[in-house]
Structure 1
């Protein structure tokens, strides 16, 4: 069957084949503020989900009369209710009659009905599949395909794909969907022979070409062409145009700019103009390896047009480098390429949001991912597959985020965020005292916070509801203290080196008492993932910004090695097996000894690392200082602990901006013997003197009673080969 007749058949449904669901962003708004597709007596909609319940009355707890398959045609007998809120969906109840040899009557909620359904051979295997389109309660459009033969054999039979609608009007969510024809002109490429078009509209419209592919006897997958994005069609293989090398100086690493032709613009004034992508590796220790991408339109010869505002330093630098190669760059602020302009927030609802972190140059390992949804401008968005293997420890694909492949190589990394504050939770039982929970665990000392999916052995049947998150569903805890996850948490609680429990770490007489304190909570996000919430007092804090200075009496090669139990999150220069080797000079300058061939050796003023080891408490001694006096306090104390002026200024630059905004900070310093337990280190050759300072601070609203610290009477000695290290821990506010 040709494409056009197939799509006309699909669209020949009640209400002109349009499905609507839209409502306010404010989830507390009344049902009357929602809009949705309605049906009248005599209409014949289809069942939009597989195994929908036909009930004996218009109530969710009414007896089930019959279970209905996806695509089953129903006849509306009457509208059985006004607009109602049922769980998290606004719609109406309908009394309906089933089709077939033995029709039955019953009631269904309108959310399981759709005018968009068909039965066709979508994958070309000679057998017909059933297709239906519906809205989720989160205003996503969901396309489902069911393989009837597999369903009859009680095997997994349903494939589904979610689509995010374009941006709605201010204060609104949702929109409308319909099935339409698609053409090569719209896509910039030929659609598959059995592709169908899905048009999604809110404040604007977008059309996706959707295909279903399957092997006989196995449910298939729904997808959209990865080459098609809003305003641009990408080549399957980019064409390299030129590369530019920019030598680094001192601590600034070399930079390379790689420019490739990645596709063609589609539609608008510059239709069919080729798109040039220039990638710049972003140096520095603030994030894992990242790149910035800048895009240009080739207007003919060496004339380039750069869309968008002139607001980024790097983009101007790339313009200048291209000009040095003979290219002429013209800025055109009013021209945009939406499919190559990643939004800061990819998705947001009452449960959370997905925010852009960086563009990674790492390989996009598709086998480690599964589809999350289709974005209106960027296309397919994936998320980490449960149990994904073969990824490096710091590969962002393993961080349980959301990813968009970029032309040529690399991907955009988006992280899921949600603030589960105490005010947002209504507890069924009295809330745990003096504890807080975090949905995000710190995988990179504050630079990379990511959600933590529940282990595979934690299932829905193992959980009991203990609270409700406002507009975002229930919180759960484990039912049974014998569950393996409780044992893992109990083991973590006791993994504290002797000598580091100086502060008020929680103590429990038994594992049962520990279990009753709710060490773990669980919550379902918008994408069907069961996420684990960790107690903040049971989580190892990060030793952040340890800066290490080396002052030998003569130039010498030095090796600095942290113990294996220290998990290094970031380092500059990069570590090799928790170790660094370099040439140290009496001026405190460190020089690389293993520079890549053809590259000059870089020099550094100091070594930087940060990471975690074990859970430990704040020092028992400390002071409570107003945030505004943070700098003043450090200037008074740190010289007495051994820092010289330039080291002190480095410390203030790193920590004062993070702390001065708090009402108060409780500040203490761990004794040297505790620092050595938390981060064991070996320096070769051994220094004559080594100063190690670990500050520990907690923002507070009111000052608690504290035992005043005792500062050393004499400043630490620095004769001979001396190593100086300072770092800190900044805990969550309380």
Structure 2
């Protein structure tokens, strides 16, 4: 597919993900080794739902099988509509569900129907000028086989195969030391709010007190269009809600200065049973795609 045709195809889906969209991929681990396939939990998509291809490319197959004939190859960001869910299966290192989906052709032709495995699909797709080169990039988020959130950014003007940059982001586990993976929600933080466009990933499982917030950046070659940039974890913060012990944080940005201010609050139970509250402030300065913690200025 030519870059212009790819751009046309990707413009079929401009709406942001619904506010309640969550992507989860997790499994229980009783002993060391591979998780039990029966313990896997993952996001289920429903008939009529529009989702997106979240991997570099995947084959649309004639039936729900990894060796079925290929109907078409789909590119990252392609919107598809779920027709129905198939059977739960294990394909490679993934456990998920096969889905029959329909793909609307960019030229308005009749939809093409086939099957894709659930690990390639996502409710999260964003289109924005992430690197300031004047061109719109496409970003998606799926879960990796290592139970992390994998952010991919596609540079449509670059010819394949080197037009996607990716980075993995840690998610909070669903159980203390007994699980891998967890849920994640994603939103786009605009440049007017943070100084640079960022993807914000939040992971806060209901069954566990740990939570993680990460920000992902995508920086190019000094704003030069048509050049693949690099996706990076710009800032990662972790917290805990396990009363009486708590560790929380609040993030605010100074867009003009390209700085992030983090206020951490730690509450711990003292020996007398009374909680002790400590608040700390941290300043992070933007440089080369990440927010690096600034050293405090020594007082005279």
TM-score of the pair, normalised by structure 2 = 0.69
Q: Which moved more, 1:52-61 or 1:129-138?
A: 52-61
Evaluate the alpha carbon distance shift between residue 107 and residue 115 of structure 1 in structure 2; reply closer, same or farther with a 3 A threshold: same
Report the counterpart of residue 175 of structure 2 in structure 1. Answer: 169
Evaluate the alpha carbon distance shift between residue 232 and residue 19 of structure 1 in structure 2; reply closer, same or farther with a 3 A threshold: closer
8 Å CA contact 1:72, 1:99 repeated in 2: no
After TM superposition, the structure 1 = structure 2 runs for residues 564-583 of structure 1, keeping only pairs within 5 Å, are none
SS in 2 for 1:17: coil
Report the counterpart of residue 60 of structure 1 in structure 2. Answer: 66
Report the counterpart of residue 257 of structure 2 in structure 1. Answer: none
Evaluate the alpha carbon distance shift between residue 87 and residue 118 of structure 1 in structure 2; reply closer, same or farther with a 3 A threshold: same
Shift of 1:268: 2.6
After TM superposition, the structure 1 = structure 2 runs for residues 465-476 of structure 1, keeping only pairs within 5 Å, are none
Shift of 1:179: 1.7
After TM superposition, the structure 1 = structure 2 runs for residues 401-480 of structure 1, keeping only pairs within 5 Å, are none
SS in 1 for 2:50: coil
Report the counterpart of residue 137 of structure 2 in structure 1. Answer: 129
Deviation by residue 1:45-70 (Cα, 9 ceiling, x = unmatched): 10000111111221112222211111
Q: Does 1:221 align with 2:225?
A: no
Q: Does 1:146 align with 2:160?
A: no
SS in 1 for 2:165: strand
Residue among 1, 17, 24 paired with 1:11: 17
Report the counterpart of residue 195 of structure 2 in structure 1. Answer: 192
Report the counterpart of residue 265 of structure 2 in structure 1. Answer: 268
8 Å CA contact 1:10, 1:179 repeated in 2: no
Evaluate the alpha carbon distance shift between residue 38 and residue 125 of structure 1 in structure 2; reply closer, same or farther with a 3 A threshold: same
Report the counterpart of residue 94 of structure 2 in structure 1. Answer: 89
CA distance in 1, matches of 2:211, 2:190: 16
Shift of 1:77: 1.4
Evaluate the alpha carbon distance shift between residue 116 and residue 183 of structure 1 in structure 2; reply closer, same or farther with a 3 A threshold: closer
CA distance in 2, matches of 1:121, 1:183: 10
CA distance in 1, matches of 2:174, 2:63: 35
SS in 1 for 2:157: helix
SS in 1 for 2:142: strand
- Runs of 4+ in structure 1 off by over 4 angstroms are 26-30, 181-184, 228-233, 332-337, 405-408
Shift of 1:201: 2.4
TM-score of the pair, normalised by structure 1 = 0.30
8 Å CA contact 1:123, 1:212 repeated in 2: yes
Shift of 1:30: 4.2
Which protein is bigger by CA-based radius of gyration?
1
Residue among 42, 54, 77 paired with 1:48: 54
Deviation by residue 1:624-654 (Cα, 9 ceiling, x = unmatched): xxxxxxxxxxxxxxxxxxxxxxxxxxxxxxx
CA distance in 2, matches of 1:49, 1:80: 20
Report the counterpart of residue 211 of structure 2 in structure 1. Answer: 205
8 Å CA contact 1:48, 1:71 repeated in 2: yes
CA distance in 1, matches of 2:91, 2:138: 27
Shift of 1:206: 2.7
Deviation by residue 1:526-559 (Cα, 9 ceiling, x = unmatched): xxxxxxxxxxxxxxxxxxxxxxxxxxxxxxxxxx
Shift of 1:32: 3.2
8 Å CA contact 1:48, 1:112 repeated in 2: yes
Deviation by residue 1:295-336 (Cα, 9 ceiling, x = unmatched): xxxxxxxxxxxx999xxxxxxxxxxxxxxxxxxxxxx97759
After TM superposition, the structure 1 = structure 2 runs for residues 715-726 of structure 1, keeping only pairs within 5 Å, are none
RCO (CA 8 Å, sep 6+): is it higher in 1 or 2?
Answer: 2
Deviation by residue 1:257-295 (Cα, 9 ceiling, x = unmatched): xxxxxx97614379xxxxxxxxxxxxxxxxxxxxxxxxx
Shift of 1:12: 2.9
Evaluate the alpha carbon distance shift between residue 268 and residue 406 of structure 1 in structure 2; reply closer, same or farther with a 3 A threshold: closer
Evaluate the alpha carbon distance shift between residue 407 and residue 123 of structure 1 in structure 2; reply closer, same or farther with a 3 A threshold: closer
Residue among 164, 180, 185 paired with 1:178: 185
8 Å CA contact 2:52, 2:80 repeated in 1: yes
SS in 2 for 1:32: helix
After TM superposition, the structure 1 = structure 2 runs for residues 24-39 of structure 1, keeping only pairs within 5 Å, are 24-26=28-30, 30-39=36-45
Shift of 1:91: 0.3
CA distance in 2, matches of 1:28, 1:267: 36
Shift of 1:154: 2.7
8 Å CA contact 2:16, 2:125 repeated in 1: yes
CA distance in 1, matches of 2:187, 2:166: 19
SS in 1 for 2:201: strand
Shift of 1:9: 4.8
Evaluate the alpha carbon distance shift between residue 90 and residue 407 of structure 1 in structure 2; reply closer, same or farther with a 3 A threshold: same
CA distance in 1, matches of 2:266, 2:293: 24
8 Å CA contact 2:188, 2:197 repeated in 1: no
Residue among 20, 23, 29 paired with 2:27: 23
CA distance in 2, matches of 1:63, 1:181: 37
Shift of 1:217: 2.0
CA distance in 1, matches of 2:43, 2:95: 11
